[in-house]
Amino acid sequence: MTIERPAVRPANPHFSSGPCAKRPGWSIEKLEHALVGRSHRSKPGKARLVDAIEKTRAILGVPADYKIGIVPASDTGAVEMALWSLLGARGVDLLAWESFGAGWVSDVVKQLKLKDARTLKADYGQLPDLTEVNFDNDIVFTWNGTTSGVRVPNGDWIPADRKGLTICDATSAAFAQDLPWSKLDVVTYSWQKVLGGEAAHGMLILSPRAVERLESYTPAWPMPKIFRMTKGGKLIDGIFKGETINTPSMICVEDYLDALGWSESIGGLKSLIGRADANAAVIAEWVGRTPWVEFLAENIETRSNTSVCLKIVDKRITALSDDEQIAFAKKIADLLDKEGVANDIAGYRDAPAGLRIWAGATIEATDMRALMPWLDWAFAEALSSLQTAA
């Protein structure tokens, strides 16, 4: 099987699922006005941090009574702050259907050692049964499974009169999927996902219910300084007014502001979602006419429009051992990387063998369309190498 090398290449080969592609038109010169060499606590430094918070609120449509904070250690840091600060007041249901959700399960069960914790699991490609969730408990879940390409379809499964808190890791969903704020008490994400910002900074968004929990409940375990959000039983409100817990990179802040400004210029959240949907549609059209590949997400209603995960279903490949299938998928990714066509699209290390293509808003649909013939070419090349070796 031989396929001629395609003539058209994507202008931007950055299809990594994190850190993700920079916004169209980005250049390092866009950061020349970053407030370097100044304290983030200075008036102009704090003003930039507040600007980042308020632009976030405006674009995502975060309610006025929700708190938004910039926190250290990316999305992971934001989730850990929530878990360590809020859990333990009541039972907790943990939803896991891919590696990051499984990581939160491990933290709660093995590190916090909560006894009243229940885990609802599903295999890669599927969701747990959402009707089994007990909303008398706190709930911890990812909105969009970055390593499986499976997302919750909407917020209809979450009742308005729940007793527990909903803690949502939305890192590959925020700015690409519609988040129902009234159903979410804690939302976290990182700058480096949908908006292609620089790494190391996380966002923590708290509902009034989450704030009430913070001010009325003290966890039984010691709290690291970097996680502390209350003092004397009251919320440290400055965290949510630009007074960050540790020193942020003002270059990264400037980059995030640039991405937010671009988002505003193209029409805000609706346009961001539309761009991601259009990119995902390009992949779906190609998968529909390509016999050797399928979506890892089995249900179209729960299929991600950002971290699109694909599995190789050609019988010549599925007959191989798991390690050989992983090596074959990596061969495809390596061929495309070497050609300068697509960087970093091998499936996540803990996921089934396959490919993972970022389709978020910073990807141009023209680049996504240009990539599709290259996938067929790389598959043919990898298959030819496999048959030659045999």
Question: What CATH number does residue 225 fall under?
Answer: 3.40.640.10
Instruction: Identify whether 60 is part of a domain.
Output: yes
pTM: 0.97
Percent of the chain residues topping a pLDDT of 90: 97
Task: Please tell me whether residues 85 and 215 are part of one structural domain.
Answer: yes
Quote the CA–CA distance of 171 and 287 in Å, as a whole number.
26
Task: Please tell me whether residues 106 and 215 are part of one structural domain.
Answer: yes
Task: Please tell me whether residues 308 and 164 are part of one structural domain.
Answer: no
Instruction: Identify whether 9 is part of a domain.
Output: no
> Which of 237, 265, 293 represents a domain boundary (last residue)?
265
Task: Please tell me whether residues 219 and 294 are part of one structural domain.
Answer: no
Task: Please tell me whether residues 193 and 156 are part of one structural domain.
Answer: yes
Position 388 scores a pLDDT of 87
Instruction: Identify whether 336 is part of a domain.
Output: yes
Task: Please tell me whether residues 70 and 185 are part of one structural domain.
Answer: yes
> Which of 236, 265, 294 represents a domain boundary (last residue)?
265
Task: Please tell me whether residues 309 and 198 are part of one structural domain.
Answer: no
Confidence band, pLDDT 50/70/90 cuts, at residue 1: low
> Which of 265, 282, 317 represents a domain boundary (last residue)?
265
What is the CATH classification number for the domain harbouring 365? 3.90.1150.10
Position 2 scores a pLDDT of 77
List, for residues 84-103, the tens digit of each pLDDT value: 999 999 999 999 999 999 99
Task: Please tell me whether residues 106 and 209 are part of one structural domain.
Answer: yes
Residue 40 is part of which domain span? Answer: 28-265
pLDDT mean over 216-234: 96
* Number of structural domains found in the chain: 2
Position 158 scores a pLDDT of 98
Task: Please tell me whether residues 248 and 115 are part of one structural domain.
Answer: yes
Instruction: Identify whether 16 is part of a domain.
Output: no
Instruction: Identify whether 5 is part of a domain.
Output: no
Instruction: Identify whether 6 is part of a domain.
Output: no
Task: Please tell me whether residues 117 and 251 are part of one structural domain.
Answer: yes
pLDDT at 26 > cutoff 70: yes
Instruction: Identify whether 17 is part of a domain.
Output: no
Instruction: Identify whether 73 is part of a domain.
Output: yes
Confidence band, pLDDT 50/70/90 cuts, at residue 389: confident
Task: Please tell me whether residues 198 and 104 are part of one structural domain.
Answer: yes
List, for residues 115-154, the tens digit of each pLDDT value: 999 999 999 999 999 999 999 999 999 999 999 999 999 9
Quote the CA–CA distance of 122 and 117 in Å, as a whole number.
17
Peptide linkage before 219 cis (omega within 30 of 0)? no
List, for residues 337-378, the tens digit of each pLDDT value: 999 999 999 999 889 999 999 999 999 999 999 999 999 999
Task: Please tell me whether residues 311 and 201 are part of one structural domain.
Answer: no
List, for residues 252-303, the tens digit of each pLDDT value: 999 999 999 999 999 999 999 999 999 999 999 999 999 999 999 999 999 9
